[in-house]
A = this chain, B = another copy of it.
Amino acid sequence: MGLGVAMLTLAAATVGGAEKPALMPWPAAVEMGQGELALGPGFRVAVSGRGGAIVAEAARRLEARLARQTGLVLPPLGPVTGKPQLEIRCDGPGKGTLPYLGMDESYTLTVTPEGATLQAPEPWGILRGIETFLQLVTPGASTDFRVPAVVVKDAPRFPWRGLHLDVSRHWMPVETVKRTLDGMAAVKLNVLHWHLTDDQGFRVESRQYPALHRMGSDGHFYTQEQVKDVIAYAALRGIRVMPEFDLPGHTTSWFVGHPELATMPGPYSVARRFGVLDAAMDPTKEEVYRLLDGFLGEMAALFPDAFLHIGGDEVNGKHWNASERVAAFKKQKGFPTNRELHTYFNQRLSKIVRGHGKQMMGWDEILDGGLPKDTVVQSWRGQESLGAAAKQGFRGVLSFGYYLDLMWPAARHYAVDPLDKGVDQLPAADLARVLGGEACMWSEYATPETVDSRVWPRAAAIAERLWSPREVTDVTDMYARLDAVSRQLEWLGLDHRAGYPRMLQRLAGRQLEGLRGLADVVEPVKDYEREGTGEYTSETPLNRLVDAARAESDEARVFAGMVDALLADPSRQAGRDALRARLTEWQDLDVRLRPLLEQRAILREAVPLAGQASALARAALEALAFLEQGQAAPESWWKERAPLLEAPKNPPSALEVGFLPAVKKLMTAARGKGAME
């Protein structure tokens, strides 16, 4: 590292006066240089080394994206005369053309005012480095587009950085999957975990057992050609595709065409309800294993990845308990509970999966015993579970804390580290078995129209957690970069920003702006609360205000920061006028919106929400006034206003006011003011 340059591994807004680049995930090492590389009309990309088709294709995509981002017309790739401004040099071909667990994703990107070099030992690193380069391209302060002088030496912290996509509960067509892959590549995620079967739909063509997809999918399934197309598309982006076939529970859709696999006699129909259903495969029947052997063999040939996920979660045991056949089998085998029966099933399944040359993966539940050590555990239970598995010799991947469908703010996901809860104290050999993590997108409440806004931009924060050094944890800095990355993601065709006004427009007609004022400050209820707000099935339209609303309100987050700044300032002056302006606007929401909300059946459920938002804003204005006067608010005021701070249970809108916690802080401070002085 040279003198006079700043070494950035931790967050800082500026580096020696230079603006910090909006890189996400933040690289392992960033060293800012002096000056910048101008991207002018003569800009050229040249490829050398042994990267093969993956790098050649990546360079072509780079040129297309650069053209779109900057308007620069680059000549077709070819022999370069004169010095190229970006030289891509891949030292080796890597092992084959398919990404794999443990592939070398490291790269070095060097930018000087004279030119840039991207070097990597394998094609995968080139792919990652290209994304970094594109994130560095910004309009220059004075002229043209430019890339700041910088040396980036980068490699991921974890080798397994996935996104789990449920395409069963709501069907997601190929184009949705592809644009998801584009977004994943942009933030350096490297595993698409494709949840292909569940109670609500069997989403992949089986040529050996066509009744599975024909009768279990309502016509919505991927043909094998489409699967191959997706795998090839992902491979070019350095993303593995691992299929999941959830077994032996979550299998209602299998039984529509093959009722003989089920524990209880049919007929079955594709499930519309969500949750843990009773249907389960009958682990006592040899024909179950015969079909699974045939089907998984077919899938093992279709999906080249070394891993195959068999789910294994949430068997409630009701059908097993109700079956005399199962009872007799348990007695014969000496299984005291269903747990042993499930273990027996998993062991048989594990042999089948291994027989087809794959390593098996499953959710926490599969760990219950007797599985070979190459099994991988995906933990929804937590880091402790992951650590326990590692100690037993199993590799594991964390999903606890990364469920995007729970509508948590990015910061909350960002704070979850696979090595928390003492996992980092494990011996190195055990620690190496913690492979990384996966963001999970369960699709009970997501459709192709809304899924982008449920995944993005928050998945980028999880991607950073899994790629970047553990010390990169500054939340303010993360949000600033997340905002920039969110805009860039949209240039790839993701719809998470454009879909928002479009859906609001549909709800509000021409009175979009008014409704937007409310939508901007509300958030869908968190965790599994939405279940309690109405009757949902896979056929319920997801076209309401809650579906348009973003998982996280930027406005509320910024407001919370303003409140914190005010309360931290003893003079109670910091940003007071801006706060008051904001609150005054929100105080008017109810009056401004009531006519629209009452007029439209689909919006009527939001009437109480607008009322609550206005009342909270009013109370906050009062709190502000008390704080200004420097005297504690009377207890009678507190008693009157405090009920506002209790978010209603199961609100019909399934929305909550995003700025409630900040208002609570203000009100609490106003109440305590006297006592504190």
Binding site for B on A (CB under 8 A): 67-73, 76, 139-145, 175, 225, 487, 490-491, 495, 497-499, 501-502, 505-506, 509, 539-541, 543-544, 599-602
> When A and B form their complex, which 5 residue pairs have the shortest distance between CB atoms, in order from nearest?
A67-B541, A71-B602, A498-B498, A144-B601, A139-B600
The answer for the CA separation of A294 and B410 in the assembled complex, in Å, is 59
Chain B neighbourhood of A67, CB < 8 A: 541, 543
Q: Using Cβ atoms and an 8 Å threshold, which residues of chain B touch A225?
A: 225
Residues in B neighbouring A601, C-beta threshold 8 A: 70-71, 139, 143-145
Q: A541 touching B502 by the CB < 8 A rule?
A: no
Q: A491's contact among B144, B506, B544, by CB below 8 Å, is which?
A: B506
Complex CA gap A70/B76 in Å reads 49
Q: Can you report 25 A-B residue pairs in the complex whose CB atoms are below 8 A from each other?
A: A67-B541, A67-B543, A68-B541, A68-B543, A69-B506, A69-B543, A70-B602, A71-B541, A71-B543, A71-B601, A73-B539, A73-B541, A139-B599, A139-B600, A139-B601, A141-B599, A143-B599, A144-B601, A175-B175, A490-B502, A490-B505, A497-B502, A498-B499, A498-B501, A501-B501
Given contacts A68-B543, A140-B599, A487-B506, 19 further A-B contacts (CB under 8 A): A68-B506, A68-B541, A69-B506, A69-B543, A70-B602, A71-B541, A71-B602, A72-B541, A73-B539, A139-B509, A139-B599, A139-B600, A141-B599, A143-B599, A143-B601, A144-B601, A491-B506, A497-B502, A498-B499
Q: Which residues of the partner chain B approach A505 to less than 8 Å between Cβ atoms?
A: 487, 490
Q: Whole-angstrom distance between the alpha carbons of A144 and B598 in the complex?
A: 9
- Which among A487, A490, A501, A506 has the highest number of chain B CB atoms within 10 Å? A506
CB distance from A229 to the nearest CB of B (A): 10
Identify which of A501, A502, A601 gathers the most chain B CB atoms within 10 Å of its CB. Answer: A601
With both chains docked as a complex, state the minimum distance between the C-beta of A101 and any C-beta of chain B, in angstroms.
Answer: 30
Copy tally for this chain in the complex stands at: 2
**Chain B residue contacts of A142, Cβ below 8 A:** 599
CA–CA, A469 and B490, complex, Å: 43
A495 cross-chain contacts in B, Cβ below 8 A? 498
A68 to B507, CA, bound (A): 10
User: Is there an interface contact between B539 and A76, defined as CB atoms closer than 8 Å?
Assistant: yes
* Closest chain B residue, CB of each to CB of A502: B498
Closest Cβ–Cβ distance, residue A22 to chain B (whole Å): 11
Q: Which of B73, B145, B540, B541 contacts A540 (CB 8 A)?
A: B73
Q: Bound complex: CA of A600 vs CA of B139, how far in Å?
A: 6
Determine the residue in chain B with the shortest Cβ distance to A596: B139
A233 to B72, CA, bound (A): 37
Q: Which chain B residue lies CB-closest to A493?
A: B449
Q: Determine the residue in chain B with the shortest Cβ distance to A505.
A: B487
| Residues in B neighbouring A76, C-beta threshold 8 A | 539
Residues of B within 8 A of A141 (CB): 599
CA distance A110 to B375 in the complex (A): 64
A565 and B459 CA atoms in complex are apart in Å by 53
- Whole-angstrom CA separation of A1 from B459 in the bound complex: 60
Nearest residue, chain B, Cβ from A601: B144
Question: Closest B-chain residue to A41, C-beta based?
Answer: B601
Residue of B nearest to A495 (CB): B498
**A139: B residues at CB distance < 8 A:** 509, 599-601
The smallest beta-carbon distance between A233 and chain B, in angstroms, is 13
Q: How far is the CB of A270 from chain B (nearest CB, A)?
A: 11
Q: How far is the CB of A457 from chain B (nearest CB, A)?
A: 15
CB contacts (< 8 Å) of A499 on chain B: these are: 498
Complex: chain B residue closest to A547, CB-CB: B71
Complex Cα gap A600–B140 (Å): 7
Within the assembled complex, what's the spacing in Å between the Cα atoms of A601 and B76? 22
In the complex, chain B residues whose CB is within 8 Å of the CB of A490: 502, 505
Query: Of all chain B residues, which has the CB nearest A499?
Result: B498
Distance, CA A67 to CA B539, complexed state (A): 10
Residues on B with C-beta less than 8 A from A602 are: 70-71, 145
Determine the distance from Cα of A498 to Cα of B505 in the docked complex, in whole angstroms. 11
- A293: shortest Cβ distance to chain B, in Å? 30
A213 to B495, CA, bound (A): 32
Cβ contacts under 8 Å, A69 to chain B: 506, 543
In whole Å, how far is A147's beta carbon from the nearest beta carbon of chain B? 14
Give Cα A139–Cα B506 distance, bound, in whole angstroms: 11
Please give me the residue from chain B that is nearest to A141 by CB atom: B599
Residue of B nearest to A138 (CB): B509
Q: How far is the CB of A77 from chain B (nearest CB, A)?
A: 12
Cα of A490 to Cα of B505 in the assembled complex, Å: 10
Complex: chain B residue closest to A540, CB-CB: B73
Residues in B whose Cβ lies below 8 Å from that of A509: 139
Q: From residue A453, how far is it (CB to closest CB) to chain B in Å?
A: 13
Taken together as a complex, chains A and B put the C-alpha atoms of A475 and B491 apart, in Å, by 36
Measured between alpha carbons, how far is A297 from B144 in the docked complex, in Å?
53
Q: Which residues of B contact A71 (CB under 8 A)?
A: 541, 543-544, 601-602
- Bound-state CA distance A457–B509 (Å) is 17
* Complex-state Cα separation, A497 to B503, whole angstroms: 12
User: Min CB distance, A220 to chain B, in Å?
Assistant: 12
Within the complex, the shortest CB–CB distance from A483 to chain B, in Å, comes to 9
Minimal beta-carbon separation of A140 from chain B (angstroms): 8
A662 to B308, CA, bound (A): 67
**How many whole Å from A333's CB to the nearest CB in chain B?**
42
Q: Which residue of B lies closest to A38 (CB)?
A: B601
A342 to chain B, nearest CB (A): 34
Query: Could you tell me the distance in whole angstroms from the C-beta of A494 to the nearest C-beta in chain B?
Result: 10
Bound Cα distance A501, B505 (Å): 14
Q: Closest Cβ of chain B: how far from A150's Cβ, in Å?
A: 20
CB-CB under 8 A from A143, the residues of chain B are 599, 601
CA gap between A541 and B502 in the complex, in Å: 26
Looking at the assembled complex, report how far the CB atom of A506 sits from the nearest CB atom of chain B, in whole angstroms: 6
A72 to B67, CA, bound (A): 44
- Closest chain-B Cβ to A486's Cβ sits at a distance in Å of 11
Nearest CB in chain B to that of A541: its residue: B67
| Cα separation A141 to B595 with both chains bound (whole Å) | 11
Query: Chain B's nearest CB lies how many Å from the CB of A29?
Result: 28
